[in-house]
Amino acid sequence: MEMIYKEQAVLKMSANNPPVKKVIPGSTVVFETYDCFSNQIQREDQPFSSVGWDKINPATGPLFVEGAEPGDILKVEIVEIKIDSQGVMTTAPKLGVLGDIVKGETTKIISIQEGKAIFNEKIHIPIKPMIGVIGTAPAHEDIPTGTPGAHGGNMDCKKIIKGSCLYLPVNVSGALLSMGDLHAVMADGEIVICGLEIPGEVTIKVDVLKGESLPLPMLVSEEKIITIASAETLDEAAKIATLNMHTFLVQQLGFQIDEAGMLLSLVGDLRICQVVDPLMTARMELPQWILDQYHYKIK
Ligand code: CA
Ligand code: CA
């Protein structure tokens, strides 16, 4: 099994990042990841502002996948997500949905015990480890790892968990996949601008799809297929996620335009991923059983 260590990290997704490892399609790779603060916050007397912006949201990589060429799709199977035994959260004025009423900086260290995040004596939250930042290099621009987009990036989609499969665009040779920003648990919205931030290790299997057409980024889990979209406003992101799923129903399953809309209005859940990053992210979730009825399987 190939391993990429956390020190091999980037702060932007870029065609110019030199690959730290090359693998062939079908390979299994472990990405060791820092938390989103580059593991700089270890105590509750260390505020968010003690971490320089040059330490925020490191993404381990990039991984070069042989044979991946622009126009292909990179299939990333999330085989395992292991997390450390302690995570951290921070709040600070002017950050997140509550930024106007948060007056000072607070740091909270939260330990993980027996699969639960110990928030306080009364509240023990079952963990659900997820990947906040995961993406490929864009073709013509450098995108900070803190920003989401068509290339993936800081989507903060809580459905990117063990057992799910993420489909990303290949914009440059080798795709240049990188990831980081694990959360032990996070709710839709990520309203104070962080989840339970935690270092860890992600095991993935990569493959390259050629000649396929899927709305990207797309996530497939056992029960759902999900289109994810990011834009300046949540309204816009919601619309793109919906249009992408609609296009999939029309092009891949042969639905008429109106009928596909009706179906989404009945069984397609439109949800918020996050509202705190430089772009907002929304997702449209369609139950997998709809595809089963048409004997359609995403490769
Ligand atoms: Ca994030
Ligand atoms: Ca985060």
| Class of residue 43 by CB neighbours under 10 A (exposed 0-12, middle 13-18, buried 19+) | exposed
Tell how far the Cα of 158 is from the centroid of ligand 2, in angstroms. Answer: 11
Which pLDDT score, from 0 to 100, does residue 108 have? 98
Which pLDDT score, from 0 to 100, does residue 53 have? 85
Q: Which ligand is nearest to the CA of 276?
A: 1
Rounded to the nearest 10 degrees, the angle between the axes of helix 257-267 and helix 234-253 is 120
Tell how far the Cα of 250 is from the centroid of ligand 2, in angstroms. Answer: 35
Write the pLDDT tens digit of every residue in 136-157: 999 999 999 999 999 999 999 9
Tell how far the Cα of 13 is from the centroid of ligand 2, in angstroms. Answer: 17
Which pLDDT score, from 0 to 100, does residue 1 have? 84
Q: Which ligand is nearest to the CA of 274?
A: 1
Q: How many helices (H) and strands (E) does the chain have?
A: 3, 22
Tell how far the Cα of 7 is from the centroid of ligand 1, in angstroms. Answer: 19
Tell how far the Cα of 277 is from the centroid of ligand 1, in angstroms. Answer: 7
Separation in Å, CA 126 to CA 90, 114, 123, 184: 20, 9, 10, 9
Do 89 and 37 form a contact (C-beta atoms < 8 A)?
no
Q: Which residues is 165 bridged to in the sheet?
A: 77, 220
Tell how far the Cα of 177 is from the centroid of ligand 2, in angstroms. Answer: 18
Do 95 and 190 form a contact (C-beta atoms < 8 A)?
no
CATH architecture of 2-209: Sandwich (2.60)
Q: How far apart are CA 197 and CA 12, in angstroms?
A: 19
Q: How far apart are CA 55 and CA 58, in angstroms?
A: 7
Tell how far the Cα of 173 is from the centroid of ligand 2, in angstroms. Answer: 28
Which pLDDT score, from 0 to 100, does residue 65 have? 98
DSSP assignment letter at 26? T
Q: Which ligand is nearest to the CA of 134?
A: 1
Q: Which ligand is nearest to the CA of 183?
A: 2
Q: Which ligand is nearest to the CA of 145?
A: 1
Parts of the chain belonging to CATH 3.10.28.20? 218-293
Tell how far the Cα of 253 is from the centroid of ligand 1, in angstroms. Answer: 33
Which pLDDT score, from 0 to 100, does residue 84 have? 98
Place of tokens 């004596």: 121
CATH architecture of 218-293: Roll (3.10)
Q: How far apart are CA 179 and CA 199, in angstroms?
A: 12
Which pLDDT score, from 0 to 100, does residue 248 have? 97
pLDDT < 70 regions, the chain = none
Q: Which ligand is nearest to the CA of 194?
A: 2
Tell how far the Cα of 220 is from the centroid of ligand 2, in angstroms. Answer: 22
Q: Which ligand is nearest to the CA of 198?
A: 2
Write the pLDDT tens digit of every residue in 1-40: 899 999 999 999 999 999 999 999 999 999 999 999 999 9
Which pLDDT score, from 0 to 100, does residue 190 have? 97
Which pLDDT score, from 0 to 100, does residue 52 have? 86
Residues 6+ apart with CB under 8 A from 203: 1, 28, 29, 30, 31, 78, 79, 80, 81, 82
Tell how far the Cα of 79 is from the centroid of ligand 2, in angstroms. Answer: 20
Parts of the chain belonging to CATH 2.60.120.580? 2-209
